[in-house]
Structure 1
């Protein structure tokens, strides 16, 4: 008979020793605790804000160069917001000397929305002066103000245009901005309940790996689209070439969210390699989807390199893939919950915050549609509104699964976790 003496703190059973070993391994890896996550996120966001400010200035300068390099007249701003019964102004700028007098007539896309004073003016070649234009809001909506010269020389006024938004209420504008940051915060924070749950339980059993893989794929596609349009001058040039009077459809918060979501999802996937995952693995269906998407991306990437398509088209294809992935990514988790008749391992707080973000996102669109009398932005172009709608039915389903369909099983499982009895080597019970 051999007696082996082991110096184990608090006489931990074998399974607790394994868990403690994993915890120490995570600690050595660094960044796997709550403080590490918060610090990394703070550094990432501050860095992006600093770079974003510089990028915005660069885009503005490049836009002026692209649209106004051969024009004599330009404007002090390309975008203005005015309230109904209110007024604002912009200046027509003389960029270079004129050979002769120029008679300019401003053209309103929708004449009933605003009134311009003056609507017609002359800039003399002998003493050119900037002209101040006052805009009076009449009805809510969107319009574009362009110009034409009496001599019909378009090169003189090609860069003379302003996008105007007429709003009903300044309060609704402020509320819309606040709601926008609220849904941004809700969506950004929705990753952390699952991360905290995994760390607390040291297990990812019940979290579907197919969902994680598809989620990461979607966020990566979204991040490629946002970063490409926001940061790469060559792609921005392609966009302005197609839409000379357009506006880059990506904001700084879009970039921050996509990068943060990708990093958070990668972190959760990393937890799957460290914590207990049972017999879970990536399904053949999800693996096939990833391979197919990879082949598609490789193909269109080669086409972009060979100049068969532009890089802007590559980004558009990434956005289409993001939309498709968003439609199907929740299905694996919902099916898994149904088969297990349980949502254990799937954080319901994640679902609640995601639902909150989706509802606030759609609320902002509705507020803007009312304030600017622009309902076509919702029903005429349903893609953006549809992205918010897609997750709502699945979030409702997950909530029903957790609080209604499988509530009894979850309650019993919780009681089992609380009263679980560990039997040590001597046959004694530890509670």
Structure 2
């Protein structure tokens, strides 16, 4: 009987202690260098004993708090305190409340993720640049879709390019979605780059998923419209096989904890970066072989160029604003995607406007052409890059 009473007393004390819970008004805070912001610390129930509250800062060279610590008695009736956070240097840190004794209350949710920026204006500019690059890159898919629909033909559009493109964007989507939406992987990133910010933004996620959709639509057009003798080359199939084996091995290694899942996502991003390096080569060679860019939308190139430049600009703005140059190395795919896209876009512009500028329009038959002449005699071989317009 005595044992039962003490058991119930212990349970009641444990329940009472569990009711005492420290929380914060917000868990994400952005403060300027040499600026300050506040958050509120709450206690939802009375304490069973006196405690000492202190704030542990992940990077004390980036932020400080006022107060840094304070004492609470069991008789305390205050349930809310305002804590001031001062920004010392640009970067990312976490402010966590801890108490002594540690079992007097729960502090599980009493933490704030603090982002310290050099300029609020730069942050807003970065957001605008991000969404403009998203629009430019997203719209860049549609001139090609439109020209395929208008011609009812995909002759001139290289199938190796399309097959590599869809695989690349699927890999890029895995990387962006995993790092943006899975907390465990995001935490792995912060463990690896303690002072860094997550380099993946919402516009990156939306762009990657949309790119998969738009590329899929273009591939479906290849099954509907005239495609001539075009097919995915043996070399492209070998490359796909190599990438498939690489990804399958990476999944197995991550599944047995030989590598982190963050490393697996990085490997996916490296596949995307490798594809970005090589996917334009078949189209560039195809244009060279035909001495023409007909069937390859120049509107797509202009938009792709704009998106690539703005994508790199956003990363540079963020790296400067948060003194977080590791973010460029933390997401090499995004920066590499922009850089190599821009480089190839310049080459395609040279092909279109310099090298093959005389062979980039549909060849129209002269109006005084004899009506009874066989139409086939007036059609230029499409393999040379021309397509006649019927009068």
Common topology (TM > 0.5): yes
| Map of 2:348 onto structure 1 | 398
Alpha-carbon distance in structure 2 between the residues aligned to 1:343 and 1:304: 43
| Aligned residue among 63, 68, 78 for 2:27 | 78
For 2:152 and 2:369, locate their aligned partners in 1 and report how far apart those are by CA, in whole Å: 17
Mapping for residues 30-429 of structure 1, pairs under 5 Å: 72-94=21-43, 98-111=47-60, 113-127=62-76, 129-149=79-99, 157=107, 159-228=109-178, 236-237=183-184, 240=187, 250-301=200-251, 314-378=264-328, 382-410=332-360, 413-414=361-362, 416-417=363-364, 419=366
- Three-state SS of the structure 1 residue aligned to 2:220 is helix
| Range moving further from structure 2, 320-329 or 306-315 | 306-315
Provide closer, same or farther for how the CA distance between residues 360 and 238 of structure 1 changes in structure 2, counting only shifts above 3 A: closer
Name the CA distance, whole Å, in 2 between partners of 1:330 and 1:249: 26
- Supply the distance in 2 between the matched residues of 1:78 and 1:122 (Cα, whole angstroms): 23
SS in 2 for 1:131: strand
Report the Cα offset of residue 220 of structure 1: 1.4
Distance 1:197 1:353 in 2: 15
Aligned to 1:82, the other structure's residue is in SS state strand
Taking the aligned partners of 1:321 and 1:180, their CA distance within structure 2 comes to 23
The structure with more helix, counted as a fraction of residues: 1
C-alpha displacement at 1:357, in angstroms?
Answer: 0.7
Unaligned runs of 5+ in 2: 1-17, 379-389
- CA shift in 2, pair 1:327/1:152, >3 Å: farther
C-alpha contact (below 8 Å) 1:72/1:98 kept by paired residues? no
Residue 174 of structure 1 deviates from its aligned partner by 1.6
C-alpha spacing 1:123/1:184, structure 2 compared with 1 (3 Å) = farther
Residues 1:403 and 1:170: Cα distance change in structure 2 (over 3 Å): same
Asked if 2 retains the 8 angstrom alpha-carbon contact of 1:123 and 1:129, the reply is no
CA contact (8 A) 1:74 1:157 kept: yes
CA distance in structure 2 between the aligned counterparts of 1:342 and 1:334, rounded to whole angstroms: 10
**1:156-196 deviation line (CA, Å, top 9, x unaligned):** 55654323223333222222111111001111111001011
Match of residue 46 from structure 1: none
1:381-429 deviations in whole A, cap 9, x for unaligned? 655423321211111111111111221332xx53x24659998888589
Deviations 1:89-139 (A, max 9, x none): 112233666442222232444545444222222233333623221123354
Counterpart contact for 1:100–1:125, Cα < 8 Å: yes
Question: Cα RMSD (Å) of the superposition?
Answer: 3.7
Contact 1:219/1:261 (CA < 8 Å) preserved in 2?
A: yes
What's the CA shift string for 1:19-43, capped at 9, x where partnerless? Answer: xxxxxxxxxxxxxxxxxxxxxxxxx
- With normalisation by structure 1, the TM-score equals 0.70
2:307 aligns to what SS in structure 1? Answer: helix
SS at match of 1:224: helix
Structure 2 residue matching 1:93: 3-state secondary structure:
strand
Compared CA separation, residues 386 and 424, structure 1 to 2 (3 A): same
Please give the secondary structure, in 2, of the residue aligned with 1:103: strand
Q: Paired residues, what number?
A: 357
1:297-356 residue CA offsets vs partner (Å, 9 max, x unmatched): 445556667787776665444333223222222221122222222222111111111110
> CA distance change for structure 1 residues 284 and 81 in 2, over 3 Å: closer, same or farther?
same
> In the TM superposition, what whole-angstrom CA distance separates every residue of 1:356-382 from its partner, at most 9, and x where no partner exists?
011111112222233334344346865
